[in-house]
Amino acid sequence: MIGSKITTSKRTVFLGCFLGATIVLLVPHGLTSKCQYAFRRMFCVPLGISRSLTLAARTPAAPDISSQAYLQLKKDHQKLVNYSANLAAMIAAQQETINRLTLLRMEPEWQKLGFVPASIFTALGDDHVVINRGVRDLVQPNCFILANNAIVGKVLEAGKHQATIELIGDSGAFLTVYIDTPKTPGILRGLGQGRMEIQNVPYGPPVKTGQFVYASNQSKLLNIPIVVGTVSACDRDETTPHLWKIQMTPAVDLAQLDRVDVILPGRP
C-alpha cells in the first residue's frame, strides 16, 4: 500500500546480525585480512589529516620575542649563565690554592708554617712588586715570600690591604743563606735587575756550580731551611783572595711571578 511504512521486527534484526557474525567467523582469515587492508587504504588519508590537525592544535604558539616579558626572561637567563661561569672559575681557583697548600704541608716541618696566598697585581720596576695582602691578613714587614716552594723575597712595607715585596734580586736585598754539601754560610746580596751574588764565603771549602743555596733559619720568621737558588758561577775573588766570588741563579724566574705565599711569623 502506497504511503505505508516499512517496519522491521526485532527478531528480523537479531537474525540478520547473527547471520552476519556467523558469516564473518566462517570466512577464511586471508579474505578478512584483505578486507581490513582495503579499509585501511580507503580511510588512511582522512585519518592522517585528522591526526595532523590534532597535533597542530596541540603545538604551542611561538613566543613573541619582541615582548618585554620575553626580553626580561632572556636577560635574567644570561645573568644566571654568567653567574654560573664566574662561580665555576672561583671554585677552580680556590681548589688550586687548596691543592697547592696541601702539598706544602705534606712534610711535617712545613706544618709549622702559616701561609697567606697572595696575587701580584703590579710591579714597581724590576725588583719590587705589590701583592693584594696586608696587615689585615697578618702580613708584616720582613715576612718571607714563597713561590713554587722557593724563597723569592721579603715584605718591605705592609699597608692595610696591600704590601710591597722586595725581591732577592733588588740592589738592597740582603739575606743570610748557606750553600749545601758541605754547609757553607754566606750572605746573599742583590745586584739589581734580577742579578745576585753570595758574599763572605771563605775560600777553602769547595763550592761548585749547581749546588743548592738555602735561606737560613731565622727566629719567628723562618723555622726551616727553604731553597733560594743554585750556584751559577764561582771563582776566587781577585780583590780578596781569601773569599769566594759566587754568583747565584734564583730557583724561580722572578720575571714570571704571578701568585705567591706569604710565610706568617710567630708560628711555633
At 72-120, the pLDDT tens digits run 888 788 778 777 777 777 787 777 777 766 666 555 566 667 889 999 9
CB 238 within 8 A of CB 109: no
CB 113 within 8 A of CB 267: yes
pLDDT at 185 over 80: yes
Mean pLDDT of the chain: 80
220 or 58, which is more confident? 220
pLDDT at 27 over 60: no
For domain 114-168+259-264, the CATH architecture is: Beta Barrel (2.40)
Buried b (16+ CB within 10 A) or exposed e, 182-217: eebebebbbeeebbbbbeebeeeeebeeebebbbbe
Q: Do domains 114-168+259-264 and 174-252 have the same CATH topology?
A: yes
DSSP structural state of residue 205: S
**Residue showing cell 696586608:** 134
Q: Is 49 helix (H, G, I), strand (E, B) or coil?
A: helix
Q: Which amino acid is at 211?
A: Q
Domain boundaries, the chain: 114-168+259-264, 174-252
Q: What is the mean pLDDT of residues 144-155?
A: 92
pTM surpassing 0.85? no
**What is the reported pLDDT for 130?**
94
At 122-144, the pLDDT tens digits run 887 778 999 999 999 999 999 99
- CA pair distance 239, 199, nearest whole angstrom: 13
At 6-22, the pLDDT tens digits run 566 667 766 776 666 66
In this structure, the strands spanning 226-236 and 195-199 are unpaired
Which triple of cell numbers denotes residue 8?
522491521
Inter-CA distances, 114 with 55, 84, 204, 222, 231, Å: 68, 32, 38, 10, 29
**What is the reported pLDDT for 268?**
45
- For the domain made up of 174-252, give the CATH fold: Thrombin, subunit H (2.40.10)
* 1 confidence band (pLDDT: 50, 70, 90): very low
Which triple of cell numbers denotes residue 150?
722557593
Q: What is the mean pLDDT of residues 37-65?
A: 61
Which triple of cell numbers denotes residue 126?
724590576
Q: What is the mean pLDDT of residues 201-209?
A: 88
